[in-house]
Amino acid sequence: MKPTRPTTFLQLIAAAALAISAVAPIHAAEPEAVKLQSLRGGLPLNQDHGSTGFKQERDHGPSDRDFVQQPPLIPHTVQGYQITKNVNKCMDCHAFSKAKASGATRVSVTHFKTREGQELDNISPRRYFCNTCHVPQTDAKPLVESTFQRARGLQ
Ligand code: HEC
Ligand code: HEC
């Protein structure tokens, strides 16, 4: 390997500037440190906020939808309702075979179709985790302002 040496004029200037700045620090105005804060505050992603004090809405009848394709909001609490590999608590009431006895709305027939378009006789894997789409509501204030308006056909 050849020994490195300053070759270009620019490199020489840079080396000189470095040498000078080492002796006399330049007092250029330092940019002020930006303090970033996300909606979840400064809490790292691998930690959860403790109890927020927000209350889930009391059980009530089905909510109005804001657009026709909207996954309906969950009109009841879901505390302790587990969805695991072996158990889906929601299907205890919402399955076609359970709905009559439970009084719950049957899952939509769209939920039986696989990604490839095949119709199954039970919930499709892509619809298994109900609360990726269906969510209950709390009395929490909105985090950001929204100008969203209900679809005209549903107003
Ligand atoms: C103990 C029975 C029961 C369980 C368990 C249950 N639900 Fe329900 N759910 C109901 C009933 C009953 C209604 C209908 C309320 C009404 O019509 O007044 C309902 C309504 C709903 C609706 C509204 C449907 C509409 O047309 O607006 C959604 C969405 C829903 N549930 C989702 C879920 C999800 C997701 C879970 C699991 C996390 C779940 N439910 C677990 C009984 C249950
Ligand atoms: C990928 C998103 C998604 C998942 C996951 C999902 N749903 Fe839905 N759900 C929807 C949408 C969108 C609608 C409204 C349009 C439709 O019927 O497909 C709906 C409609 C419904 C309805 C109303 C049916 C009606 O006749 O009005 C019920 C009840 C329901 N879902 C329950 C469930 C349950 C229980 C699960 C879990 C086993 C689940 N959903 C999983 C998106 C989802």
Whose CA is closest to atom 14 on ligand 2?
A: 71
CA of 16 to the centre of ligand 2 (A): 68
Instruction: Express each pLDDT in 37-88 by its tens digit.
Output: 777 777 888 887 776 788 889 999 999 999 999 999 999 999 899 999 999 9
User: Any alpha helices (H) in 24-133, and if so which ranges?
Assistant: 91-94, 96-102
What is the amino acid identity at position 112?
Answer: F
Distance 107 CA to ligand 2 centre (A): 6
Q: Residue 14: pLDDT above 80?
A: no
Domain residue ranges of the chain, discontinuous segments joined by +:
77-135
Q: Are 70 and 62 in contact (CB under 8 A)?
A: no
Q: What pLDDT is stored for residue 11 in this prediction?
A: 66
> What are the pLDDT digits (tens) for 95-154?
999 999 999 999 999 999 999 999 999 999 999 999 999 999 999 888 899 999 999 999
The pLDDT, as a whole number, for residue 1 is 47
136 Cβ contact list (under 8 Å, min separation 6): 56, 57, 73, 74, 75, 76, 77, 78
**Coil, strand or helix: which one is 38?**
strand
Q: Which residue has the higher pLDDT, 29 or 140?
A: 140
What is the model's pLDDT at position 46? 86
CA of residue 123 to ligand 2 center, whole Å: 10
Question: Which of the ligands is closest to the CA of residue 115?
Answer: 2
SS3 97: helix
Using a 6 Å cutoff on CB, does residue 74 contact ligand 2? no
Q: Does domain 77-135 have CATH number 1.10.1130.10?
A: yes
Using CB distances shorter than 6 Å, the residues near ligand 1 are 61-62, 72, 74-76, 78, 81, 89-90, 92-94, 102-105, 130-131, 134
Nearest alpha carbon, ligand 2 atom 28 = 107
